[in-house]
Structure 1
Amino acid sequence: MGGPLVYFNNILSKQRARSPFEVMVRKEVGDHIRSWRFIIMLLLVLFTFAGAMYISLSHLGKAVRDVNDPDHVFVYLKLLTTSDNSLPTFHVFISFLGPLLGIALGFDAVNSEKNNGTLVRLLAQPVYRDNLLLAKFYAALLIVGTLFLSLVLLMTGAGLILTGVPMEAAELFRILAFIVLSVIYVGFWLSLSICLSVAFRHAATSAITAIGIWLFFTVFYQIIVNMVARALLPDPASLQPEQVIAYNNILISFFRVAPSQLYTDAATTLLMPSVRSLGPLSMEQMAGAIPAPLPFKESLMIVWPQVTGLLAASTACFAWAYYLFMRREIRT
């Protein structure tokens, strides 16, 4: 009997040795997995992934045989970028559904605890306020990262079974970088929704505000930038080629304020190795350029400003949430 008793005593001691942060993370992960809104978002992501993979697998043979495409040798990257225009590719779906996933996981992270009366009891324990916010943020990102990694593993397995082509190291690095980029993109919207959940008392208000910000940057922002450019800048038809390039660079700089544009630029560069620039090029820059895939390190250097922008925006939102939460009176 000594052996089983020692085993159970070790388990109990490990349970007692767990930090409050670890306990809160496990609790948040369980709450998210059992919630209906996460199940609905999971089904939406799975359906869009299945549709995108069906279209790409149906046209994969034609894409791989296209010798005029410098990326035709990357079979598994083609699974993520091939489409017949009937459905968008998977990274386009993520740029649309990723914000909804982040908002769904974070819009009531703090205000629901306060309205239910559990926040006072929770912080009455030896738990720091920053650990509470970090646990909610980390648990949601853990779920999102596991979801994206599982989808990519399913895609890799399906491609290996149907094509029999092993994955190259360059493809693996690019796909892993794409997963990290997608998690960072969802993390920005998650940190924004957590910040709004701290700023507003009611969950409905924070959810509507977060969705309004998402709709503004997704639908209306580019329209407003184009209208302002037409009103303040000269007509592009009357400009010289060098001036047209400067005009387009100005527009692209303003478009990149939107997080979805940063994500789309970075995802396209990572999944299409032949992309050499994210802006317009002059004839002198294009002269002598050979269409060939870039090494992974050079593609990473191209997208580093986009990744840094998303990380900076996420950090700013989380820091503001931390500032508001530390100053908030939780007993009223």
Structure 2
Amino acid sequence: MKENVNNFFKNIFNPDGSSTGKSAFPPTPMKVLIRKEIGSHIRSWRFIILIALIVLTFGASLFVSFSGLRETINNAQDPDSAFVYLKLLTTSDNSIPPFHIFLNFLAPLLGIALGFDAINSEQNGGTLTRLVAQPLYRDNLILSKFFAPLIIVSVLFTSLCMLMIGAGIITTGINIEWQEVVRISGFIIISIIYVAFWLSLSILLSIVFRQGATSALTAIGIWLFFTVFFPIVINLIIRPFIPNPNYISEQEYLAWNNLILNLLRLSPSQLYTDATTTILMPSVRSLGPVSIEQMIGAIPSPLSFKDSLMIIWPQLTGITAAMMVCFALSYFVFMRREIRC
């Protein structure tokens, strides 16, 4: 009995790639594939260019935030003035957008660049058949294509926020509050999920299309549609049906505006904007129009992290569900696909 228990734990924690380590997670072949994918991404020029672009925009946004930080701290009418480090991510002098607005445009490009040729490049190069011929499962391959870029993105966003906190402590001498740490961590997690959605979508397109240029153009076209053209289309369709505000009640007018906002939230970029704005600005109490009756008695004070999380819970679950659906489709298509030379 004792030998059986010892063998059970050896099978779970066995570090080598022998047959006795089948219960270990992640399996050894998947670890090797993840290390290989991380190394190939880090050495690629497109990743270096995107990293340089994100770091430059982060530095520019941080410089603008530091330049107006003293006025922001001394503004007694701002309920968020006590959260110095959240202000570094949201404050701007209108010359350039704040960092979370920049990231709304750059994060999809990062996810698309890391996944648009994940499968078709292996197939065109003739290495996909060699990988499948090895003693590893197909799901290890598709999971490594998904998790390796997410590890890189997680390290990138965490490092940038840590640099921002360190620069703030050195410059201002103000210690960071626990709620600021929690909200910045939530911002990082939401950004990673947002990148994961575009990464899973680009991996799906790389499986469907054989040419990398076709999958890249399709992914960029979807991103441009939801980011630029989708709000225009919604306004063109809905605006003619909205009655004159002078002839309807306030509740009916608010209902029409809520309808427009709900339709706009079909776009992932709108969901990300709502979620990051609420997380980084504790004073945000609503993501839609509020009537005068609802504003009576409201005190302009910051919300707790739990209350802010409850406000953005539909947006967070929407982004997560879209990411899971795209990855499930890519997993299903890849597992059932016939791989030939």
Bin the TM-score by the shorter chain. Answer: over 0.9
Taking the aligned partners of 2:48 and 2:245, their CA distance within structure 1 comes to 48
Taking the aligned partners of 1:238 and 1:164, their CA distance within structure 2 comes to 56
Q: 1:179 aligns with which of 188, 196, 200?
A: 188
Taking the aligned partners of 2:103 and 2:245, their CA distance within structure 1 comes to 33
Matching residue of 1:254: 263
Matching residue of 1:5: none
How far residue 182 of structure 1 moved from its aligned partner, in angstroms, is 0.4
1:278 aligned counterpart, secondary structure: coil
2:77 aligned counterpart, secondary structure: coil
Partner letter of residue 89 of structure 2? L
How far residue 235 of structure 1 moved from its aligned partner, in angstroms, is 3.7
Taking the aligned partners of 2:244 and 2:136, their CA distance within structure 1 comes to 60
**Equivalences for residues 125-164 of structure 1 within 5 A:** 125-164=134-173
Matching residue of 1:198: 207
Matching residue of 2:289: 280
Matching residue of 1:299: 308
Matching residue of 1:119: 128
Cα distance change on mapping 1:237 and 1:251 into 2, 3 Å = farther
Partner letter of residue 227 of structure 1? L
Q: 1:326 aligns with which of 320, 335, 339?
A: 335
**Equivalences for residues 21-170 of structure 1 within 5 A:** 21-170=30-179
Deviations 1:235-274 (A, max 9, x none): 4454321111001000000000010100000000000000
Taking the aligned partners of 1:130 and 1:234, their CA distance within structure 2 comes to 53
Matching residue of 2:10: none
Partner letter of residue 168 of structure 1? E
Of residues 223-232 and 173-182 in structure 1, the stretch that sits farther from structure 2 once superposed is: 223-232
Partner letter of residue 292 of structure 1? S
Of residues 85-94 and 239-248 in structure 1, the stretch that sits farther from structure 2 once superposed is: 239-248
Partner letter of residue 26 of structure 1? R
Cα distance change on mapping 1:236 and 1:216 into 2, 3 Å = farther
How far residue 103 of structure 1 moved from its aligned partner, in angstroms, is 0.1
How far residue 14 of structure 1 moved from its aligned partner, in angstroms, is 5.1
How far residue 16 of structure 1 moved from its aligned partner, in angstroms, is 4.7
Taking the aligned partners of 1:301 and 1:106, their CA distance within structure 2 comes to 32
Cα distance change on mapping 1:289 and 1:32 into 2, 3 Å = same
Taking the aligned partners of 2:202 and 2:245, their CA distance within structure 1 comes to 39
Cα distance change on mapping 1:232 and 1:293 into 2, 3 Å = same
TM-score (norm 1): 0.94
Q: Give the root-mean-square deviation of aligned CA atoms.
A: 1.2
How far residue 54 of structure 1 moved from its aligned partner, in angstroms, is 0.3
Taking the aligned partners of 2:171 and 2:315, their CA distance within structure 1 comes to 34
Is the contact between residue 236 and residue 247 of structure 1 (CA under 8 Å) also seen in structure 2? no
Taking the aligned partners of 2:322 and 2:76, their CA distance within structure 1 comes to 40
Contiguous gaps of at least 5 residues in structure 2: 1-13, 19-26
Partner letter of residue 272 of structure 1? M
Count of residue pairs brought into register by the alignment: 320
Deviations 1:84-111 (A, max 9, x none): 0000000001000000000000000001
Matching residue of 2:237: 228
How far residue 232 of structure 1 moved from its aligned partner, in angstroms, is 3.2
2:175 aligned counterpart, secondary structure: coil
Taking the aligned partners of 1:154 and 1:305, their CA distance within structure 2 comes to 31
Is the contact between residue 95 and residue 264 of structure 1 (CA under 8 Å) also seen in structure 2? yes
Taking the aligned partners of 1:33 and 1:234, their CA distance within structure 2 comes to 54
Identity rate, percent: 59
Deviations 1:65-97 (A, max 9, x none): 100000000010011111000000000010000
